[in-house]
Structure 1
Amino acid sequence: MKKITVFLVSLVLLASCKQEAKKEEIPSLSEEFAAVLDSYYEEDLKLNPINATTAGDHRYDDVFANSLSDEHIAKVKAHFENYKAQLANFPDEALTESEQLSKAILAWECDINLNEFNHKASLTPIDQMWSTNLFMGQLASGSSAQPFNTVEDYQKWIKRVEGYLAWLSSAEEKMREGMQTGHVLPKSLIVKVLPQLESLTITDLDKHLFFSPIKNLPDGFTEAEKLELTTAYEQMVKDKIVPAYQKLHDFMRDEYMEAGRESSGIQGEPDGDAYYAHQIRKYTTTNMTASQIHELGLSEVARIRSEMEKVKEQVGFEGDLKAFFDYVRNNKELMPFTEPQQVIANFNSIHDQMRPQIEKLFDVKPKTPFEVRRTEAFREKSASAEYNPGSLDGTRPGIFYTPIPEVTKYNVYSDESLFLHEAIPGHHYQISLTQESEELPKFRKTLWYSGYGEGWALYCESLGKELGLYTDPYQYFGMLGAEMHRAIRLVVDTGLHSKGWTREQAIQYSLDNEAESEASIISEVERYMANPGQALSYKIGQLKIRELRQKASEVLGDKFDIRQFHNQVLETGCVPLALLETKIDQWIQENS
């Protein structure tokens, strides 16, 4: 009897153990949700292999996805539809606060990208500022995110270029389709694209951008490997790159130029108003209308002008504000450099000056290294200063690129605010801390919402006095000028794309209200023409972050810690502004 009892007890225990094991095998809802987020991220990298490379993930360095092909477009659409449907399986009440935020962000991603398919942006795939061909030029230089350290790296680039050549061919096909439907670039932008394309039709290999990696072959390669790669790159450039660029150049110079728009804004294209509304939502992550943004811009321009008047009086300038703009633009004392390296050194000295104060505002700093570099020559004339993120693993530094097309005309009056925006604590802090976070799911580490990211960077410009900068009135005027520049964008971008403004009208409004050079203003206005709505994101985001700081300071009083506020803003990574506001409101409530 005892034996039977023991046997039965053993069976019961065994069954119980099996049930427990079964329970452990069943993933929790959080595990399922995390798996969906990871799956989304991995599939997104496959669809966008260049994004993987820039993030420091080199599994797809030999792949170039032709984003203009019907097959790829169908895959992307199915991707977002699939994950939008999967989110419905996870009710908010079953998720943690952090998971709810990830769900809301992914839902936003799916919706805004699916809405893009309702418009015809793919019919104008090439412009002078934003398009894929320009970024591929950066990669081709051998000094950007695409690695050129091993023989395999060099071979991967050749394979990737094959895919890129298919994209160039598709770009012409799409532009021809656009010519039939009225979706074409303004003539004034086509003119700016032509020299960029022409610069890559040269046959002198030593001067060709796509041959650059061969000029920097690692010493560890054997002579046979060097010869083989040199021959392969010679053939790639002469037989494929040069003819492809020549063909595209001639098409855009002749047929496409003839079909180009006389209008400056997106209103000149069919469905332009609906597309602009989409672009506003995409870049500001708000529901603001073009008219609301235009009026806000006019109000901000008036406010900043009054601050500028105070600086004009402080330095003793007796003319009107417009005359003061001309004075600042042309003041030779503010153009002290003779060598490009002096510009780079000046930015590094700004960093040194503010370094002792940074801990007063930030108690968390990125580990990713940082560098200042001159913008590459092939795109320098049409480029603005910009920040390129470091790799996710921190092995590639974050890089602040600054164009120096004519060093003797380089004006330093806005360098301090520019460094705060593009470098530290602007884009470098925000992007690097996001990438280094151990709390965020992978897909959130590489997201970019311009309203948040550019809003943060512009907000950082206002921190100059707290960081020991802006002691020179001209540098403070430079900060006001930079803020005015972004306020003008609210007026000019909406003017161009919703109120029928011409390119010339936009240029004149800018000249009347800021101290930027005419050449710089022309480049800026043409930038807005090429990517409607993007320029709105800076001021909208900055004003929201300022508003949230003010609210937190007033409600929390003595409990308000600026370092903790900055942590709260930065720890989420890039998020739509409405979600950031909800988070900060909760933080204020929990600490009040």
Structure 2
Amino acid sequence: MHLTRRTLLASSGATFALVALPARAEQAGDAKAALDAVAEDYLRAFPTDASELGIDTGARAALRSRLTDKSPAGQQAITAMLRRNVARLNGLAAADAETRLHADVVRTAYESALRGYAFGYGDVHVGGWRNSPYVVIQNVGAYIDIARLLEATHKLETPADADAYLSRLGAYAGQLDGETARLRDATAKGVIPPAFLLDKAIAQLRLARGGDPASWSLVTTLAARYPDRRARAAEVARARILPALDRQIAALVEQRARAGDVAGVHRLPDGPAYYRWALQAATTTTRDPDEIHAQGLDELKNLQSQMDALLRPLGYTDGGVGRRMRALGQDKRFLFPGDDAGRAQIIAYCESKIAAIRPKLPELFGRPVKGIVEVRRIPPAEEPGAAGAYGGAGSLDGSIPGRFWINLRDPGSIPRFTLPTLTMHEAIPGHVWQGEYAHRLPLIRTLLGFSAYQEGWALYAEQLADEVGLYADDPAGRLGYLQAQAFRAARLVVDTGLHYKRWTREQAKSWFAEATGQEPGEIESEVDRYCAWPGQACAYKIGHSEIARLRDATRARLGTRYDRRAFNDAVVQAGPVPMTVLAGVVGELG
């Protein structure tokens, strides 16, 4: 997408307004060099991102052996890096508006992260998809991230790759201890997660450290490709990682002894201010929690009206929509076996839906990407605290495919009709698809993200699939789509309920189950996720509503000149931006 000065100015008065730059101008080449330098500084702080993108080669090869420093000193170094680069960007006036916009988007992400770090606790995901007030919990921590990195992403094509893997195994132990030091600091500050989250995290960590370290997947993944490294890997696991895991478990057990059951972050130091920051970071707006809560209730009512009209012909007429959807979800016609055979069937079914949407993509996009994706099970050790699914693009060169990770802990409880829209969201034309467009941006823009844009796009992708007829002969599948949209509307209500209106966990679970008809196990996992990632759940519907609003406004403005493919291209090629900036991007159409 070519971004002009008009695009930049169109967004300059909004909530996430772009900071005015000094009058001094530099050549475009200097501006590009500055953005490149910011990207390299970022990768030194977050070296695993280079592996995720497949760019830990050549001059960056040393990054393949490293992990982020999770210690208190490491966090201070990250904040220093962010401040240094905000200053660098403040001193930059690019000769062209496109580069200038890139710089301002990066600055917005960095300044938001710095506001998060200023609270002095938790885990801040710089320009990423979630923030948490807790250093380690059921869905946050090195014990999740590093296992996934080494088993699924770290390349093992050469002996040097194997040696880098061994270096990262050792660094993993150090990362665990760095987190543990911050855990103890959090305990001293009174930043203690609720007991029900700690119970899950402790159980998962115990699962991760269980058994003979020589048989851990961290060891066997390397040994399968390089048997001569098995003994060294097993020794690192036994002598360094196992004790580090035990120290982290002990720190969490200490917190558990002092934990209560209050779910929301309002109980934490500066908790109300923390929630407003988390909500702002996730939605890229400053919308009031009461307004967001009300939007969720209104959208849920509209969606349930559409669901009611589809449920009645299927014979589901009694009770509320949520209750009827739960009954539909228990209908054996739509369920898989609850074993490995069921897991294989679910993966194959999701793959079939990817194949079904591909021929329809030319109707939606004028400049399509490849959409390289594979469907994989979330690692079993991660499943108890993980969401139902997540996805993202692979490496820049396509050698590592995009991944649609799905939680198959209990395959017998996953209704078939929920999977088509889930596949659209996580794979194509959702996260994997959008991520491939982001790969075309300057490197620092590829590395950073805004949840409202990315999750809003994924919900919009679900809508696009419906509009091109994916459910034309599948009323249950369309119910799954509407249920997923209603689920995201309900998230607005539950997230603000927990953290702003001081709902209890049980209150949130009960309301959520009644409103959406989701299975109790899934409801608990979702509510606990919002407890650990305040604000993030609101990004989905806020982002989607804004994209839909912009489309309606563009269609009204252009009339017969409106082109659906041109609009979709404009939104997806813009890459992750604050939602206010996106309004300026689509304002260029015509």
TM norm structure 2: 0.89
In 1, Cα distance between equivalents of 2:70 and 2:249: 21
Query: Which residue of structure 1 lines up, in the alignment, with residue 219 of structure 2?
Result: 211
Matches within 5 A, 1:511-590: 511-587=513-589
Bigger mean CA deviation after superposition, 341-350 or 158-167? 158-167
Query: Which residue of structure 1 lines up, in the alignment, with residue 163 of structure 2?
Result: 155
Check the 8 A contact 2:455/2:540 in 1, yes or no. yes
Deviations 1:290-322, CA, capped at 9 Å, x for gaps? 111111111111111211211122323221224
Query: Which residue of structure 2 lines up, in the alignment, with residue 499 of structure 1?
Result: 501
Give 3-state SS (helix, strand or coil) of 2:405's partner: strand
| Aligned residue identity for 1:182 | G
How far did 1:289 drift? 1.8
In 1, Cα distance between equivalents of 2:361 and 2:393: 20
1:295 is aligned to 2:297:
no
1:244 is aligned to 2:244:
yes
| Aligned residue identity for 2:30 | E
Q: 2:203 aligns with which of 195, 217, 221?
A: 195
In 1, Cα distance between equivalents of 2:357 and 2:398: 23
Matches within 5 A, 1:343-358: 343-358=346-361
Larger Rg: 1
Deviations 1:438-460, CA, capped at 9 Å, x for gaps? xx321112221100000000111
Give 3-state SS (helix, strand or coil) of 1:121's partner: coil
Q: What do you get for the CA RMSD once the two structures are aligned?
A: 1.8
Number of residues paired by the alignment? 545
Check the 8 A contact 2:395/2:401 in 1, yes or no. yes
Query: Which residue of structure 2 lines up, in the alignment, with residue 362 of structure 1?
Result: 365
Give 3-state SS (helix, strand or coil) of 2:416's partner: coil
Q: 1:410 aligns with which of 406, 411, 414?
A: 414
Deviations 1:453-493, CA, capped at 9 Å, x for gaps? 00000111112233331131111111111011111110000
In 2, Cα distance between equivalents of 1:446 and 1:433: 12
In 1, Cα distance between equivalents of 2:90 and 2:504: 46
How far did 1:205 drift? 4.5
Check the 8 A contact 2:451/2:536 in 1, yes or no. yes
Give 3-state SS (helix, strand or coil) of 1:86's partner: helix
Give 3-state SS (helix, strand or coil) of 2:382's partner: helix
Query: Which residue of structure 2 lines up, in the alignment, with residue 129 of structure 1?
Result: 139
Query: Which residue of structure 2 lines up, in the alignment, with residue 423 of structure 1?
Result: 427
In 1, Cα distance between equivalents of 2:176 and 2:213: 21
Matches within 5 A, 1:67-106: 67-70=70-73, 72-91=74-93, 95-106=95-106
Q: 1:246 to 1:75 in 2, by over 3 A?
A: closer
1:138 is aligned to 2:148:
yes
How far did 1:80 drift? 2.1
Give 3-state SS (helix, strand or coil) of 2:404's partner: strand
Give 3-state SS (helix, strand or coil) of 2:464's partner: coil
How far did 1:206 drift? 6.1
Give 3-state SS (helix, strand or coil) of 1:130's partner: coil
| Aligned residue identity for 1:95 | A
Check the 8 A contact 1:80/1:114 in 2, yes or no. yes
In 2, Cα distance between equivalents of 1:98 and 1:32: 14
| Aligned residue identity for 1:362 | F
In 1, Cα distance between equivalents of 2:278 and 2:143: 22
In 1, Cα distance between equivalents of 2:586 and 2:429: 20
1:44 is aligned to 2:61:
no
In 2, Cα distance between equivalents of 1:402 and 1:174: 31
How far did 1:194 drift? 1.5
Bigger mean CA deviation after superposition, 555-564 or 448-457? 555-564
How far did 1:333 drift? 0.9
How far did 1:215 drift? 4.3
Check the 8 A contact 1:487/1:539 in 2, yes or no. yes
Bigger mean CA deviation after superposition, 443-452 or 539-548? 443-452
Q: 1:323 to 1:203 in 2, by over 3 A?
A: closer
1:459 is aligned to 2:457:
no
| Aligned residue identity for 1:529 | C
Deviations 1:20-65, CA, capped at 9 Å, x for gaps? xxxxxxx952111111101000111001111111111222011122
Query: Which residue of structure 1 lines up, in the alignment, with residue 18 of structure 2?
Result: none
Check the 8 A contact 1:140/1:209 in 2, yes or no. no
| Aligned residue identity for 1:175 | L
| Aligned residue identity for 2:467 | E
Check the 8 A contact 2:325/2:517 in 1, yes or no. yes
How far did 1:151 drift? 1.9
| Aligned residue identity for 1:267 | H
TM norm structure 1: 0.89
Give 3-state SS (helix, strand or coil) of 1:317's partner: coil
Query: Which residue of structure 1 lines up, in the alignment, with residue 327 of structure 2?
Result: 327
In 1, Cα distance between equivalents of 2:342 and 2:106: 47
Matches within 5 A, 1:467-482: 467-470=468-471, 471-482=473-484
| Aligned residue identity for 1:108 | T
Check the 8 A contact 1:140/1:212 in 2, yes or no. no
| Aligned residue identity for 1:341 | A
Check the 8 A contact 1:267/1:497 in 2, yes or no. yes
Point out where structure 1 has 5 or more consecutive residues left out of the alignment. Answer: 1-26, 219-225
How far did 1:553 drift? 1.1
How far did 1:284 drift? 0.6
Q: 1:382 to 1:110 in 2, by over 3 A?
A: closer
Structure number with higher relative contact order (C-alpha < 8 Å, ≥ 6 residues apart): 2
How far did 1:415 drift? 0.9
How far did 1:418 drift? 0.6
Query: Which residue of structure 2 lines up, in the alignment, with residue 306 of structure 1?
Result: 305
Q: 1:544 to 1:245 in 2, by over 3 A?
A: same
Check the 8 A contact 1:354/1:468 in 2, yes or no. no
Check the 8 A contact 1:486/1:538 in 2, yes or no. yes
Check the 8 A contact 1:172/1:248 in 2, yes or no. yes
Check the 8 A contact 2:150/2:218 in 1, yes or no. yes
Q: 1:176 to 1:75 in 2, by over 3 A?
A: closer
How far did 1:210 drift? 1.5
In 1, Cα distance between equivalents of 2:142 and 2:565: 38
Q: 2:402 aligns with which of 398, 402, 405?
A: 398
Check the 8 A contact 1:285/1:576 in 2, yes or no. yes
Bigger mean CA deviation after superposition, 543-552 or 108-117? 108-117
Deviations 1:536-579, CA, capped at 9 Å, x for gaps? 10000000000111111111111111111111001111111111
Q: 1:367 to 1:473 in 2, by over 3 A?
A: closer
Give 3-state SS (helix, strand or coil) of 2:71's partner: coil
Moved over 6 A (4+): none
In 1, Cα distance between equivalents of 2:164 and 2:222: 14
Bigger mean CA deviation after superposition, 328-337 or 229-238? 328-337
Deviations 1:211-252, CA, capped at 9 Å, x for gaps? 12244215xxxxxxx33x111011011222222212322332
In 2, Cα distance between equivalents of 1:332 and 1:585: 48
Deviations 1:256-297, CA, capped at 9 Å, x for gaps? 211223210101111001111111111111111211111111
Query: Which residue of structure 1 lines up, in the alignment, with residue 14 of structure 2?
Result: none
In 2, Cα distance between equivalents of 1:374 and 1:47: 29
Bigger mean CA deviation after superposition, 126-135 or 490-499? 126-135
| Aligned residue identity for 2:38 | Y
In 1, Cα distance between equivalents of 2:584 and 2:303: 29
Check the 8 A contact 1:372/1:401 in 2, yes or no. yes
Give 3-state SS (helix, strand or coil) of 1:499's partner: coil
In 2, Cα distance between equivalents of 1:69 and 1:404: 35
Check the 8 A contact 1:203/1:242 in 2, yes or no. no
Query: Which residue of structure 1 lines up, in the alignment, with residue 277 of structure 2?
Result: 278
Identity among equivalent pairs (%): 28
Check the 8 A contact 2:430/2:457 in 1, yes or no. yes
In 2, Cα distance between equivalents of 1:233 and 1:82: 37
